[in-house]
Amino acid sequence: MQLKDKIAVISGAGSGIGKATALLLAQEGAKIATIDHTPDESQKTVDQIHTEGGEGLVTIADISQPEQVEQAFEKISEYWGKIDIVFANAGINGVWAPLEDLTPEEWDKTLSTNLKGTFLTVKYALPYLKQQGGSIIINSSVNGTRMFSNTGATAYACSKAAQVALAKMIAVELAQYKIRVNVICPGAIDTNIDDSTTQENLEEVKIPVEFPEGQIPLTGKESAKAAQVAQVVLFLASDASSHVTGTELWVDGGQSLLQG
């Protein structure tokens, strides 16, 4: 039980990487609080945690709205008295389109959810993490960090690159409080995040790249499972990574090295 009696907050825990991480951290002894703008799916995650003998709590917030995020952390702290781990996971792919077709509103929505949402999640967790130290893990991407061949994903890639810069800046700032800050950068993962993707006129700007044997060196054409990413989050949340901060870890089977 690597996380026995730890309190872990996970945004976007209703599906994919967030759900897999919530279940794994609960199995390792953590009590799980979720932050989601729609509670139905995250409630199913917490119900499963309860069924397996763990403890969980659902809070509702749009991560781009400061007051809602602050209130979610207040509720979690009042319920359990502390917070040890924060996984800033929630995000969207948004609109992928040529720059000329990308509207300012579409740009703002992606940056507001992915970057501002991460900032707010970390910001309002700090008063509680500073009491005893802890671990912050941010879910970024291969896009914008080591891979730039997904033409049209400009807003998304910029939001993900900025998340890494945010992590590195605050890793130094928060080290005095024994708070570690790290980033995971998943590649192709078998999740439903594509449901939040709108692709527009990409054929006009797409640069053809073909990998006949598959785009993921370790597996060929097979995407990773969310549970594999959850294992990396567990490492960064646990004492096994006690001397690791300000670091990004790519979880992509070598995909970004091939497609970069």
Closest to 161 (Cα-Cα) out of 182, 147, 179, 171: 147
Sign of CA dihedral 240, 244, 245, 246: negative
Encoded amino acid at 37, one letter: H
Closest to 99 (Cα-Cα) out of 47, 138, 157, 147: 157
Rounded to a whole number of angstroms, the distance between the first and last alpha carbons of the chain is 38
Q: Give the chain's largest Cα–Cα span.
A: 54
Element counts in the chain: helices (H) and strands (E): 8, 9
Report the phi/psi class of residue 78: left, alpha or beta, with left for phi > 0 and alpha for psi in -120 to 50: alpha
CA–CA dist 67, 65 (Å, integer): 6
- Just list the catalytic residues: 156
Sign of CA dihedral 174, 180, 186, 189: negative
Quick one: tokens of 231?
């294992």
